[in-house]
Structure 1
Amino acid sequence: MGEMSGFHLGVIGALFLSVASSVSIVICNKTLMSHLGFPFATTLTSWHLLVTFCTLHAAQRLNMFENKAIDMKTIILFGILNGVSIGLLNLSLGFNSIGFYQMTKLAIIPFTVLLETIFLKKQFSRKIKFSLSLLLLGVGIASVTDLQLNILGTILSLLAIITTCVGQILTNTIQKRLNVSSTQLLYQSAPFQAAILFVSGPLVDQFLTKQNVFAYKYSPIVLVFIILSCIIAVSVNFSTFLVIGKTSPVTYQVLGHLKTCLVLAFGYTLLHDPFTERNIIGILIAIFGMGLYSYFCTQESKKKQSVDLSLGSQIKDKDGSPLLNIVHQDKDSQEAKKSAKNPLV
C-alpha cells in the first residue's frame, strides 16, 4: 500500500510539473514571438534540447542520477524521430491555418488510441472513449476557428500526427521494456533530438518566416526571454518523459489539452487576448471531459488492483493447498498403519 501511495504521489507531482512548466513556457514563448518579434520556433526548440542535455549531463556528473546504457541504434532512431516530429509540427503550423493546426493536435489522441489498440493490443473501454470524445469536442469548440485546407499542409499534418504518436508511444514503451527512467532516456536521446533540429531549424525557420536567425538583432530583453525559455524547457522536457513513462501517451495528450485550456484562460487574463462565449463553453466541456477521463481511469485502476490482489490470494491458496494435502495424506497413512496392526479393526 505504501508503494502504491508513493506511486500515485509521483504521478500527481509529474502531472503538476508538466502543466505548470508547459503553461509557463507557452506564455514566455508567446511574449518572445508575438510581442518581441522573435519568430524562430524550431531553432529555439533545438536550443531548449541542447540546454536540457547540458543540464542533465551536469546532474549526471554530480551523481544525481545513474546513466544506464541503451542500445545506440534505438536511441539514435528515437532521437531523430522526436526531432523530426517537432519540425513537422512547426511546418504544419506554417503551412496551415491555426484552426487546421489545432485539428491536427486534436487528431493525435484518436490516432494514438488506434495505434495502441492495433499494435500493442491495448483495450480502451467505452467510458474512456466517451470521455475522450467529450474532451476533444470541448477543445475543438474552444480553439478551432477557421479551417483552410491545402494539399501540402494536409500531408505535413498527417506526417506530424504519425511521428508524434509513434514517438510518444515509444517513450512509454522504451522506459517500461528496457527498465530505464525518464531522466536516463531523455539524457541519452536529447543530443540526437537537438542535433537534428540544430541543423534543420534555421532552414525551416527561414523557409517559414523569410528571416535568417543568424542575422537577427538580439536585444537584451530578447536574450533574457530566450534564456528564461531554455530554463523552463528543461522542466518541460523532463516532465514530458516523466508523465508518459508513469501514465500513458493518451493521458499525456489529455494533459496537453488541459494546458491548451489554461493557456487560453491565461491569455485572456494576462495578455488580454479576445475571449468569447464559445471559448468559455468549449473550455467547460473540455474540463468536464477531463474530469470524466480521470474518474473512469481511477475506477478502472482500482478494479485492476482488486483483480490483481484476488489473483494473488488465489495463487497463495493454491501454493498452500499441496502442503495441506501432504499433511492429510500423512494422517491417512498413519491411520492405515494402525488399522493394519490392530486385527480387530
Structure 2
Amino acid sequence: MISEIGGGYDSQGKIEKMSENTGFQLGTIGALTLSVVSSVSIVICNKSLMSTLHFIFATTLTSWHLLVTFCSLHLALWMKFFEHKPIESQTVIGFGILNGISIGLLNLSLGFNSVGFYQMTKLAIIPCTVLLETLFLSKNFSQSVKLSLTVLLLGVGIATITDLQLNILGSILSLLAVVTTCIAQIMTNTIQKKFKVSSTQLLYQSCPYQAMTLLISGPFLDRLLTNQNVFSFNYTPKLVVFIVLSCLISVSVNFSTFLVIGKTSPVTYQVLGHLKTCLVLAFGYVLLSNPFSWRNIFGIMVALVGMVLYSYYCVLENQKKASEAPVQPQLKDTESDSLLHDETGTGTLNDVDVPKAPTWKSDKDLHA
C-alpha cells in the first residue's frame, strides 16, 4: 500500500514538473521574442529621430522612456494587472541609481570613443559578467558554454568592429560602463530571486530612481556630447510624434529586459543583445541599403552559429539538472503554492545610441 502511494506521488510529481517546465519554456520564448521585436522596433524609430529629424539627445530621451514606463506601470497597477510587493528601499534606490549611471556611462563611452572601440566595450560585458558570477556567486559555466560564447563574440566582433582608436578618458569611461552594466544586470536577476518579486514589480519600483538620475544628468551629458541644448531644440509636430512613439515602444523594451534577465540570466540577455545587433545590421542592409560587405555577412553567420551552440548547450544542461533533481511530493500549503506560481524569473535599458561629437554619422546608431 505504501509503495502504491509513493508511486502515485512520483507519477503526479513528474506530470506537474513537466507542466511547470513547459510553461516556463513558453514564457521564456515569449520574453525573448518580445525583447527582440521591441528592441529592433525602437532602433528603427530612433534611427528616424536621430538621422532624419536630427534629435540626438540620447540620454534625455532615455529618461523620458523611463518616465513613460513608470506611468504605464502605475496605470497597470491601478487597474490591478499586478500587485505591489514592497522591496527594501535601500536596495531599490541603489539598484535604480546604478542602472541610471550605467546608461549614462554607456552613452559617454560612445561619445568619447570610436564606434569600433564602443563595440569592443559591449563585447566585454559578457566575459566580465561570467567572471563576476563565477567569483562572487559561485556559478559554474561549462567549457561548452564558454566555447559557444567565444564563437559568438568572435562573430559579432568580425561583423561590427571597424576601428580601435584608443584614448585614456574613453578607455576609463568604457571600463566603468562595463563594470556598472554587469553589476546592474546581475542585481536584476538576484533581487528578483531574493525578494520573490516579478520583473514588473521590480521595474515599477526602480523606474523612478533610474528616470530621476537620467533627468538630472541627461541635459548636461547631451550638451557635452552634442554641443546643443535639448531645451532649445525645435520641436515640430512630426518630431513630437516620433518621440511619443519611441517612448511607447520603450515600455515594451524596458519590461522585456527585466523579464528576460529574470527568466534566464544576465549572460543570456547579453547573447540576445548581440542577436539584436546582427538583426539591426541585416535590417539596415536589406531595407535601408546601408553599405555591407562579405566581412559583415561572415561575422553575422559566425555569431549565429555561436548563438545556436549557446542555446543548445544551455538546454542540455537544464535537462541534465532537471533529471538529476529529486521529485518532491506536492505540498498542500498556501505559501508553497504562491512560490510555485510566483514569477521569480528580469540593463541595459539603453537602446539609444549617442553620436560622437562633433562628427555625426547618419547610420551610426545602426552600427552601435
Partner of 1:292: 309
Q: Distance in 2 between matches of 1:217 and 1:81?
A: 32
- Separation of aligned partners in 2, 1:160 and 1:96: 12
Distance in 2 separating the partners of 1:50 and 1:192: 10
* 1:104 matches 2:121: yes
Displacement of 1:272 in angstroms is: 1.7
Partner of 1:63: 80
Distance apart, 1:269 and its partner CA: 1.5
SS at match of 1:214: helix
Q: Which residue of 2 aligns with 1:277?
A: 294
Q: Write the deviation string for residues 48-78 of structure 1: whole angstroms up to 9, x where unpaired.
A: 0000000000000111100100110100000
Partner of residue 41, structure 1: 58
**Identity score, percent:** 70
- Give 1:248-263 correspondences, 5 Å limit: 248-263=265-280
Out of 215, 221, 232, the residue aligned to residue 198 of structure 1 is 215
CA distance in 2 between counterparts of 1:303 and 1:53 reads 39
Unpaired stretches in structure 2, ≥5 consecutive residues:
1-17, 331-368
1:149 aligns with 2:166: yes
Higher mean alpha-carbon deviation, 199-208 vs 270-279, is at 270-279
Q: Deviations over 1:3-56 (max 9, x none)?
A: 110110000000000000001101111111112100000000000000000000
Match of 1:320 in 2: none
After superposition, the C-alpha distances for 1:252-307 in whole angstroms (9 at most, x for unaligned) are: 00000000000000111222211110000000000000000000000011000000
Q: What is the TM-score normalised by the length of structure 1?
A: 0.90
The question of 1:94 aligning with 2:111 is answered: yes
* Aligned CA-pair RMSD: 1.1
**Aligned counterpart in structure 2 of residue 212 of structure 1, from 203, 216, 229:** 229
For 1:306, the equivalent position in structure 2 comes to 323
Cα distance in structure 1, aligned partners of 2:92 and 2:73 = 16
Secondary structure class of the residue paired with 2:176: helix
Q: Aligned residues, how many?
A: 313
**1:179 alignment partner, one of 159, 182, 196:** 196
Shift in Å at residue 101 of structure 1?
0.2
Runs of 4+ in 1 over 3 A off after TM superposition: none
Measure, in 2, the Cα distance between the counterparts of 1:273 and 1:34: 13
SS in 2 for 1:292: helix
Instruction: Give, in whole Å, the separation in 2 of the partners of 1:304 and 1:3.
Output: 15
Alignment partners' CA distance in 2, 1:268 and 1:222: 25
- Give, as a single letter, the amino acid of the residue that structure 1 aligns with 2:145: I
Structure 2 letter corresponding to 1:257: H
Separation in structure 2 between the aligned mates of residue 31 and residue 279 of structure 1, nearest angstrom: 23
Q: Distance in 2 between matches of 1:117 and 1:27?
A: 36
For structure 1, list consecutive stretches of 5 or more residues without a partner in the other structure: 317-345
Does 1:140 pair with 2:157?
yes
Query: Equivalent residue for 2:343?
Result: none
Cα shift readout 1:117-164 (whole Å, capped 9, x = no counterpart): 000000000000000000000000000001100000000000000000
- For residue 225 of structure 1, report the CA deviation from its aligned partner: 0.9
Q: Could you tell me how far apart the structure 2 residues matched to 1:285 and 1:220 are? A: 43
Amino acid at match of 2:132: L
Inter-partner Cα distance in structure 1 for 2:140 and 2:86: 32
Which residue pairs with 1:335 in the alignment? none
Give the TM-score, by structure 2 length: 0.84
1:219 Cα deviation from its structure 2 partner = 1.3
Once residues 122 and 44 of structure 2 are traced to their aligned partners in structure 1, the CA distance between those partners, rounded to angstroms, is: 19
State how far apart, in whole Å, the 2-side matches of 1:74 and 1:273 are.
44
Q: Greater CA radius of gyration, 1 or 2?
A: 1
Aligned to 1:116: 133
Say yes or no: does 1:225 pair with 2:261: no
Deviation of 1:312 (Å):
3.6
Map of 2:358 onto structure 1: none
- AA aligned opposite 1:208: L
**CA deviation map 1:225-264 (0-9, x unaligned):** 1111000000000000000000000000000000000000
Task: Report the Cα offset of residue 220 of structure 1.
Answer: 1.5
**d(CA) in 2 for partners of 1:105 and 1:75?**
25
